[in-house]
């Protein structure tokens, strides 16, 4: 199996548990007595834990290896998903959410770093990363699409006498994470990079690696713009994921039917994201550069968010159809931007900082999520869901300015090392 296929498989299995729990998660917490504000707290814990661990775990991956950190992430995911299924109080959900944050932080950089390091080792530092990154991004979106459909339909298919319907998807997610653990251990050989030999070396090396990655981001205008956009992207995603299930449950009439409705709408959105990721390289060629493609994707996503806010005036099938259409266009546009941003980010870093800088990106995403969690619920309670959706649409549209006249480093100053250098540094 070639590196692209392995990376695609790991990307699929990494995102499958998240897909399986996307539709029922908010509704499961609501069914077990949590208010909208308490659900927001649970989500905030996830974001805060992820933010706190993003840089240390990214540095850990750069020090001890991609494979070990990915395996640890899969193992923690198994425990977290089982706990979600068993939780009966806010504090149990908080603990499960914290474990999910640990797993997310552990997984946010190593898989991409593994693929890039492996391709550079095989084909040299100037190898085109976009096709493989596109394939991995598309497979992650396919996993979310398949998972959200399965997680939305499963509660209707499981007999209540056997298990609480909304608890079935988290249990299936735990099984998927266990499969991921086996794949990582069996099929993901460690690429050439520096690996610390002792626990003491790990403790000393991780902070140095983190500082190096942060300094690199701070010194690069391109990376600063990408990180700022990612904050806005995180706000948009969190606002959508927090409010859409509750909105569709109101339209459908019951929590189980709401989970299925959200699954169908979200699956179409993830399919749009897969298409956006897959078509991003072609879009960049058509528009003669990453900058035009990224501006186009952001504007398309922002206009779709405005359309989603407008659907709150519709009821029944018309409301569901309009929301689905907005989801597809929004995720297609933003999926293309995400892929191109990844390629640009990897072009700015070396192997020794790759997972750390990827973790900075994930930290920015979760930071935006924390801001949205604090504001979206309050705005929706006071003014309805259309207002927070409109606010994030406006912020997303403004963020397109970050990619106008996108700074690109001259080839002779691009930071990359040869395979021999990567083994020594």
Query: Which residues are CB-neighbours of 152 under 8 A, at least 6 positions away?
Result: 23, 24, 259, 260, 261, 262, 263, 264, 266, 267
Q: Would you state the pLDDT for residue 416?
A: 36
Whether the per-residue pLDDT at 370 is higher than 70: the answer is yes
Q: How far is CA 409 from the centre of its chain?
A: 27
Rg (CA), the chain: 21
Whether the per-residue pLDDT at 150 is higher than 80: the answer is yes
Percent of the chain with pLDDT over 70: 87
Residue, of 1 and 331, whose pLDDT is higher: 331
Cα distances (angstroms) measured from residue 199 to each of 64, 202, 206: 9, 5, 11
Tokens in use for 134? 């596109």
CATH level 3 topology of 3-424 = Growth Hormone; Chain: A; (1.20.1250)
pLDDT, one tens digit per residue, over 252-283 is: 777 777 778 888 887 787 778 778 877 888 88
Highest mean pLDDT among 230-239, 325-334, 401-410: 230-239
Q: Would you state the pLDDT for residue 177?
A: 96
Cα distances (angstroms) measured from residue 366 to each of 18, 43, 238: 15, 10, 9
φ/ψ of 10, rounded to 5, equals: -65, -40
In total, the chain counts a number of residues equal to 425
Q: Would you state the pLDDT for residue 58?
A: 66
Q: Would you state the pLDDT for residue 202?
A: 57
pTM of the model: 0.69
Q: Are 117 and 425 in contact (CB under 8 A)?
A: no
Rounded to an integer, the average pLDDT of 24-44 is: 85
- What b/e readout covers 45-61, taking b as 16+ CB neighbours within 10 angstroms? bbbbbbbbbbbbbbbbb
Whether the per-residue pLDDT at 249 is higher than 90: the answer is no
Q: How many CB atoms lie within 10 A of CB 94?
A: 18
Highest mean pLDDT among 22-36, 172-186, 346-360, 380-394: 172-186
Cα distances (angstroms) measured from residue 356 to each of 54, 102, 299: 8, 15, 29
Residue, of 146 and 253, whose pLDDT is higher: 146
Tokens in use for 24? 């029922």
Residue pointed to by tokens 């995603």: 237
Q: Where residue 422 falls among pLDDT bands split at 50, 70, 90?
A: very low
pLDDT, the chain, mean: 81
pLDDT, one tens digit per residue, over 91-100 is: 999 999 999 9
pLDDT, one tens digit per residue, over 105-139 is: 888 778 888 888 888 887 777 777 777 887 887 78
Domain locations in the chain?
3-424
Cα–Cα distance for residue pair 177/193, rounded to 1 Å: 26
Quick one: three-class SS letters along the chain? CCHHHHHHHHHHHHHHHHHHHHCCHHHHHHHCCCCHHHHHHHHHHHHHHHHHHHHHHHHHHHHHCHHHHHHHHHHHHHHHHHHHHHCCCHHHHHHHHHHHHHHHHHHCCHHHHHHHHHHHHHHCCCCCCHHHHHHHHHHHHHHHHHHHHHHHHHHHHCCCCCCCHHHHHHHHHHHHHHHHHHHHHHHCCCCCCCCCCCHHHHHHHHHHHHHHHHHHHHHCHHHHHHHHHHHHHHHHHHHHHHHHHHHHHHHHCCHHHHHHHHHHHHHHHHHHHHHHHHHHHHHHHHCCCHHHHHHHHHHHHHHHHHHHHHHHHCCHHHHHHHHHHHHHHHHHHHHHHHHHHHHHHHHCCCCCCHHHHHHHHHHHHHHHHHHHHHHHHHHHHHHCCHHHHHHHHHHHHHHHHHHCCCCCCCHHHCCCCCHHHHHHC
Cα–Cα distance for residue pair 375/373, rounded to 1 Å: 6
């Amino acid at each position: 199996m070639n590196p692209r296929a392995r990376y695609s498989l790991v990307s699929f299995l990494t995102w499958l548990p998240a897909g399986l729990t996307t539709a029922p998660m908010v509704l499961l917490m609501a069914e077990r007595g949590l208010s909208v504000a308490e659900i927001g707290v649970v989500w905030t814990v996830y974001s805060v834990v992820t933010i706190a661990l993003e840089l240390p775990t990214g540095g850990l991956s750069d020090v001890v290896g991609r494979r070990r950190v990915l395996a640890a992430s899969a193992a923690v995911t198994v425990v977290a998903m089982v706990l979600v299924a068993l939780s009966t109080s806010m504090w149990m959900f908080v603990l499960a959410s914290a474990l999910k944050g640990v797993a997310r932080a552990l997984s946010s950089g190593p898989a991409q770093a593994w693929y890039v390091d492996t391709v550079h080792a095989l084909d040299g530092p100037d190898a085109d990363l976009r096709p493989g990154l596109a394939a991995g991004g598309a497979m992650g979106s396919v996993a979310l699409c398949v998972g959200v459909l399965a997680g939305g339909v499963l509660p209707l298919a499981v007999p209540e006498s056997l298990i609480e319907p909304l608890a079935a998807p988290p249990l299936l997610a735990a099984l998927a994470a266990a499969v991921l653990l086996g794949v990582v251990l069996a099929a993901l050989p460690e690429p050439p990079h520096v690996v610390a030999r002792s626990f003491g070396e790990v403790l000393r090396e991780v902070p140095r690696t983190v500082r190096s990655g942060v300094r690199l981001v701070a010194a690069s205008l391109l990376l600063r713009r990408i990180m700022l956009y990612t904050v806005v992207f995180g706000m948009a995603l969190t606002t959508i994921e927090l409010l859409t299930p509750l909105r569709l449950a109101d339209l459908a009439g019951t929590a189980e039917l709401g989970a299925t409705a959200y699954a169908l709408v979200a699956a179409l959105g993830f399919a749009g994201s897969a298409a956006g990721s897959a078509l991003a390289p072609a879009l960049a060629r058509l528009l003669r550069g990453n900058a035009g493609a990224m501006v186009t994707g952001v504007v398309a996503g922002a206009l779709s968010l405005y359309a989603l806010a407008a659907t709150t005036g519709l009821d029944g099938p018309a409301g569901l159809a309009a929301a689905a259409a907005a989801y597809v266009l929004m995720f297609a546009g933003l999926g293309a931007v995400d892929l191109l941003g990844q390629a640009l980010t990897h072009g700015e870093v070396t192997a020794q900082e790759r997972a750390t800088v990827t973790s900075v990106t994930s930290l920015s995403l979760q930071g935006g999520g924390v801001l949205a969690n604090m504001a979206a619920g309050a705005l929706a309670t006071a003014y309805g869901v259309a207002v927070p959706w409109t606010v994030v649409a406006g912020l997303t549209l403004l963020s397109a300015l970050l990619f106008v006249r996108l700074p690109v480093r001259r080839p002779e100053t691009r930071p990359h090392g040869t395979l021999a250098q990567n083994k020594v540094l």
